[in-house]
Amino acid sequence: MNRIFLIARQEFIKFVTRRGFLFTLIGVPLWIGLAAIVPKMVASGGDHAVFTVIDHGGAYRQEIARTLQHADAPSFILVDAPRDLADAPPRTFPAIAAAYFSKPHKINAAGDVAKLDAIVVIPADFGTRPAEFWSTSAEPHLRDFVQDTLTKALRLRAAHKLGDASASAALDVEARLAPRNPAAMSRAAGGDLASVSVSIGMAILLLIVAMMNSMALLQGVIEEKSTRMIEVLLSCATPWEIIGGKIAGVIAVAIFTVVLWVASAALLGSFFAQSQAGAMIHAALTALSDPMLAGLILLYFLSGLLIYGAIFLTIGSMSASLADAQAYLGPSMMIIMLPNLFIAAILSAPNGTLATAASYFPIYTPYIMLMRVGSHPPAIELVTTALLAVGVAALLVWKAGQTFARHALTTEKPPRVGSLFAWLRPRRT
């Protein structure tokens, strides 16, 4: 056990001190953030944002309209709430709202047509409960305008109750807006937006972290074979101890990376607590604090790491050089990335037939279930897929260990492609 720990520590240090690790650590979340923000900024940069207000209390919409009317150069257009949207029950509201966000619809009796950018829902007990800001994009300027206007209205009402309208600006009263995404919530089919977002985000992180660390593991094995360092290791530890240490090191690096990313997100969320992005980060972290959701995410995440790590470790063990490994990497990557061809269909119906069937393909189980777990699939599917993921991960790690023990000291040309399937067969004694 001590030798496994020493090898794992060495692998961890080797991974985190690589030149590209710091770039990945900083660059990946930056790239994801830019990919999410820039298109929305470009899309919202030209035309005025069109929004509507559903005011169940009946006192705040007029204030928003009056503020817009007195603005020098209003950047937003307020339209009357469509009847079907205003009368929609909570259960069907996300689907109806998503339709108004996707394409122009008739919005009033006069026949005016518009595509909505945001919907503000103000409850009758606003002040006690937050208003809801529905949007499929960030719309930060519109959200800030609505929040500022509602804050002023709340403070003015509070000052009138105190009998001193001039003191409204000094009152510590802040309007709260809860962000909502109708498209994501309608896809969830029973799952809340935060849980769905967290599970999909962890699925993306699994692919990124697993590919990054598994490639480094493959390169490390090939380098050790080419430099004869593997002979030194085998003189001090058994093949299984080396395998255990390498895989433990990969898992440690992956957990370290994800923890840093989550901690950075939490820090940004607290720094921008009053923005929509900050509210969404806070909601996601709150969802992640659920023990059941966090446990399932951890199980599928670690199983995925073990499955992908075992595959790449096998390729490295059977290859004498990086050039030899390329013959296996291409087909392997195509197979691993195959579910991305159906990602839109899976996300649109996370508990549908396609998503359910794809969850039972062994090497895809962790990735697909990470995307689905926030949508609350049936308990029987959670149990069976969890057992499948753990069982397949254990089998592949065991077979990877056998392959490593058999080919660790070989430097000749690797076996043919057919051997990739042959190594799955039980060994004869």
Does 182 have pLDDT greater than 90?
no
Q: Is 423 exposed, middle or buried (0-12, 13-18, 19+ CB in 10 A)?
A: middle
Alpha-helical runs (H) found in 124-238? 140-162, 182-188, 193-226, 229-236
pLDDT in tens, 109-161: 777 788 888 899 999 888 888 899 888 765 667 888 888 888 888 888 877 77
Q: Which residues contact 296 (CB under 8 A, 6 or more apart)?
A: 369, 373, 382, 386
- pLDDT at residue 35, as a whole number: 54
Angle 203-250-5 (CA atoms, 0-180°, nearest 5)? Answer: 140
Confidence (pLDDT) at 226: 80
pLDDT band at 206 (very low <50, low <70, confident <90, very high): confident
Question: Which residue ranges make up each domain of the chain?
Answer: 2-38+191-422, 47-188
Which residue is it, tokens 């433990």? Answer: 248
Kindly tell me the burial class for residue 404, based on how many C-beta atoms sit within 10 Å of its own C-beta (0-12, 13-18, 19 or more).
buried
Between CA 287 and CA 264 the distance in angstroms is 17
User: Tokens in use for 315?
Assistant: 């390729």
pTM above 0.95, yes or no: no
All residues at 6 or more sequence positions from 205 whose CB lies less than 8 Å from its CB, including other chains: 258, 261, 301
Lowest model confidence (mean pLDDT) among 122-131, 157-166, 325-334: 157-166
The model's confidence at residue 269, banded by pLDDT at 50, 70 and 90, is low
Residue 73, helix vs strand vs coil: coil
pLDDT of 77: 87
Q: Which residue has the higher pLDDT, 324 or 277?
A: 324
> What is the C-alpha to C-alpha distance for residues 134 and 177, in angstroms, rounded to an integer?
10
**Highest mean pLDDT pick, 8-17, 152-161, 162-171, 258-267:** 8-17
Report d(CA 1, CA 240) in Å as an integer.
11
Tell me, rounded to whole angstroms, the distance of Cα 76 from its chain centroid: 31
The pLDDT of residue 167 is above 70: no
CA dihedral 136, 141, 144, 150 (to 10 degrees): -90
What is the per-residue pLDDT for 189?
41
d(Cα 19, Cα 417) in Å, to the nearest integer?
A: 32
Res 23 pLDDT > 80? no
Instruction: Quote the pLDDT of residue 192.
Output: 54
Q: Is 78 helix (H, G, I), strand (E, B) or coil?
A: strand
State the pLDDT confidence band at 324, using cuts at 50, 70 and 90: confident
Average confidence (pLDDT) over 45-67:
82
Average pLDDT over residues 240-264: 86
Q: What is the pLDDT of residue 191?
A: 45
Q: pLDDT confidence of 194, banded at 50, 70, 90?
A: low
